[in-house]
Amino acid sequence: MRIGFDLDKIFINSPPFIPDALITRLYMKKPDGALEYRIPSKPEQGLRRLSHLPVFRPPIPENLAFLKSIPKDKNKIYLISSRFKFLEGQTNDLVKKYRLDKIFEEMYFNFENRQPHIFKNKVLKKLNLDLYIDDDLSLLNYVAKENKKTKFFWLNHTKKNHRLADNIFAISKLSDIFK
Ligand SMILES: [Mg+2]
């Protein structure tokens, strides 16, 4: 199978002092209801770089372990992260630290600062995945409509497993993708 994964909040946790409400403020809806993400301003980029120091971004060990347990002879796995250009240095450090380049067949990052859902949609169309896992439901709602053959999973630890749309499923742990 061809399987894609998001990075943040899938394998790397967010700092506990940044509440979800603040992260949600990263996106806004345009008046016509279309999804649009805000790219942080320069001063905010500095602050966010600080929040991306390794000490504030612990790995999620059980998810990294699951990733390494996926049989590589039967599956190809891909990393698709919409991290912006201002996090490129820290992202490269992270890739080295966890040897992500040895784990994934290919890695895609949004270093050209595209809108995250547009960026991921383009990569998803190119890769033609069987499964894709992300924690951002607004983004999944967008790409699921555009990629009908892919099965999408919303990783959310507070919701029970259930189907959200024809091709979107809520899961509480990564291993549920093979159920
Ligand atoms: Mg994420």
Beta strands in the chain (DSSP E): 2-5, 27-29, 35-37, 76-81, 106-109, 131-134, 151-155, 162-165, 168-171
| Ligand 1 centroid – CA 52 distance (Å) | 14
Measured from the Cβ of residue 135, the count of other Cβ atoms closer than 10 Å reads: 18
Cβ proximity of 150 and 127 under 8 Å: no
What is the predicted pLDDT for the residue at 98? 94
3-state secondary structure at position 104 = coil
| Ligand 1 centroid – CA 6 distance (Å) | 6
Sort residue 33 into left (φ over 0), alpha (ψ -120 to 50) or beta: left
| Ligand 1 centroid – CA 31 distance (Å) | 25
> What is the pTM for the complete model shown?
0.90
Round to whole Å and give the CA distance between 72 and 57: 27
Fold for the domain defined by 2-178: Rossmann fold (3.40.50)
65: which residues sit within 8 A by CB, 6+ positions away?
A: none
| Ligand 1 centroid – CA 154 distance (Å) | 10
Placement of tokens 């919701």 in the chain: 159
pLDDT tens-digit series, residues 44-82? 888 888 888 888 888 999 999 999 999 999 999 999 999
| Ligand 1 centroid – CA 139 distance (Å) | 10
Round to whole Å and give the CA distance between 107 and 175: 21
| Ligand 1 centroid – CA 136 distance (Å) | 6
Placement of tokens 């700092």 in the chain: 15
| Ligand 1 centroid – CA 43 distance (Å) | 22
Low-confidence ranges of the chain (pLDDT < 50): none
